[in-house]
Amino acid sequence: MNRAAIAVASALVVGAPNAYAWRETGHWAVCEIAYSNLSEPARTRLDGLVGEDFPRQCTWPDVVRNLPEWTSTRWWHFVDMPDATDYLSPGVLVRDADNDGLDDGDVIRGILFATDALNSPATSEELKRDWVRFLAHFVGDIHQPLHVGRPGDEGGNKIRVAWYGATQYLYPECVLATPGAAVCTTTVNKTKDVNLHMVWDYHVIDTFVRRLPVVPGDSEFRHKAYAQAVTRPLAPSTRTAITQTTPLDWMNESRLDRSVAYDVLTHENLQDTYAEKASVVINERIFLAGLRLAYLLNRVFDPQSIPPSEELLRREEALRRQIGALNGWAPYERFRPEASNPAPGVLVQPGL
């Protein structure tokens, strides 16, 4: 789900999964919703860590995963789930998809580990900046139903479809960007085939957003308009029910919602009927992701704002314990990006 710029000419690492979630419009909308739901102390702390334009930070993990010292993070954006398995089943939690003899990691563990890194006094401010970007991005990713897709079709990437008659689209891939800035300076236009995963990452949202009124100060991706469109008022009890949940719950929700995504035939021409059904699901997933990200950030940066329930703490600890029993933290514990070669600034792809 990404239209994030790539800072090197080789666009994708060989063997990397093609799982980009929500692209700029979706990811930035998630973070826009989250930012608007932060307490004042949490917002101040976050601004001090990443700057005052937090939503634009939220596609950064899609950029750095293509750089040599960060390639291990490319597996952390999704978790493929066969139909008749559980997250803790053998081969799901601990897996070696790239056959390098090492467990790859996944999006649930990425969220938990990022949260723990942010809570740890041993984590440097520089790494906390990176981990908060990872956390924000992964919370968006896990709410995309095809990031909990079937491994046989790589979350819909292998299912070719048409979108309103188009079987291909033009993708202006960024091959050079200004370091530390959200400015792409050189693009190469590439023709991409439309597949089901990309329909859910980009095309449904893009079609929906094009119909929205303009919001002053919005980005070219219209993420502010999108965030406003999917946000609705909630009773306090409803908000609590939404936020007092674990990443495993979010994964299971996405797994249920993927039935809507997979209700297609290969090479089917998807139009209004499918777009409307998909929009209902996607818009709700974006809203929930924003609320849950806000809750996690408030817990990290303003712990007294909304304390978690004892039940939530118990369930989170049980999940961590089960993961640890399977040596499931290894991909994150061995992750050590070189301090002498820091990741680039936030780079974004120009609009399609």
C-beta atoms surrounding 327 within 10 Å: 12
**For residue 341, is pLDDT > 50?**
no
pLDDT at 83: 86
Residue range 23-333 forms a domain whose CATH class is mainly alpha
Query: Which of 105-119, 165-179, 265-279 bottoms out in mean pLDDT, i.e. has the lowest?
Result: 165-179
Residues forming beta bridges with residue 192, ordered by sequence position = 169
Which letter does DSSP use for residue 285 in this model? Answer: H
Beta strands in the chain (DSSP E): 162-163, 168-177, 184-193, 269-270
Q: What is the pLDDT of residue 275?
A: 97
Count of positions (residues) in the chain: 352
Give me the residue label for tokens 């070189």. 338
Using DSSP's 3-state secondary structure scheme, residue 66 falls into coil
CA distance 350 to 244: 37
| CA–CA distances in Å: residue 40 to residues 45, 115, 200 | 9, 20, 34
User: Could you give phi then psi for residue 181, rounded to 5 degrees?
Assistant: -130, 160
Three-state secondary structure call for residue 177: strand
User: Does pLDDT of 37 surpass 70?
Assistant: yes
What pLDDT was estimated at residue 112? 95
Within a 13 Å sphere around the CA of 21, how many CA atoms are in the beta-carbon half? 34
314: confidence class by pLDDT, cuts 50, 70, 90: very high
Residue 208 near residue 221 (C-beta atoms within 8 A): no
Residues 62, 343: Cα–Cα separation, whole Å: 12
**Nearest 5°: CA angle at 111, between 146 and 147?**
5
State pLDDT tens for residues 246-285: 999 999 999 999 999 999 999 999 999 999 999 999 999 9
pLDDT-derived band at 13 (thresholds 50, 70, 90) equals: very low
How many Å from the N-terminal Cα to the C-terminal Cα in the chain?
A: 14
Grouping H, G, I as helix, E, B as strand and the rest as coil, residue 160 is: strand
* pLDDT of amino acid 156: 97
Confidence of residue 313 (pLDDT cuts 50, 70, 90): very high
Confidence of residue 14 (pLDDT cuts 50, 70, 90): very low
Task: Give me the mean pLDDT over the 37-45 stretch.
Answer: 97
Q: Is the pLDDT of residue 180 over 60?
A: no
pLDDT at position 67 over 80: no
Closest C-alpha among 173, 235, 219, 200 to residue 31: 219
- What gap in Å lies between CA 61 and CA 166, rounded to an integer? 29
Is pLDDT of 17 > 60?
no
Copy the structure tokens of residue 12.
């994708």
E strand intervals along 267-309: 269-270
Buried b (16+ CB within 10 A) or exposed e, 56-77: bbbbbbbbbbbbeebbbbbbbb
By C-alpha distance, which of 170, 205, 209 is closest to 188? 170
Q: What is the DSSP letter of 103?
A: -
Q: What residues contact residue 92 under an 8 Å CB cut-off, 6+ apart?
A: 79, 80, 81, 82, 85, 86
Q: Give the residue carrying structure tokens 């703490």.
A: 313
Domain residue ranges of the chain, discontinuous segments joined by +:
23-333
The rounded mean pLDDT for the chain is: 85
For tokens 């408030």, name the residue: 298
Dump pLDDT digits (tens) for 207-226.
999 999 999 999 988 999 99
pLDDT at residue 325, rounded to an integer: 86
205 by Cβ neighbours in 10 Å (0-12 / 13-18 / 19+) ranks as buried
d(CA 72, CA 260): 31
Query: Partners of 348 in the beta sheet?
Result: 4
Nearest Cα to Cα of residue 198 among 9, 26, 13: 26
pLDDT over threshold 50, residue 1: no
Q: Is the model more confident about 279 or about 104?
A: 279
Comparing 33 with 347, which gets the higher pLDDT? 33
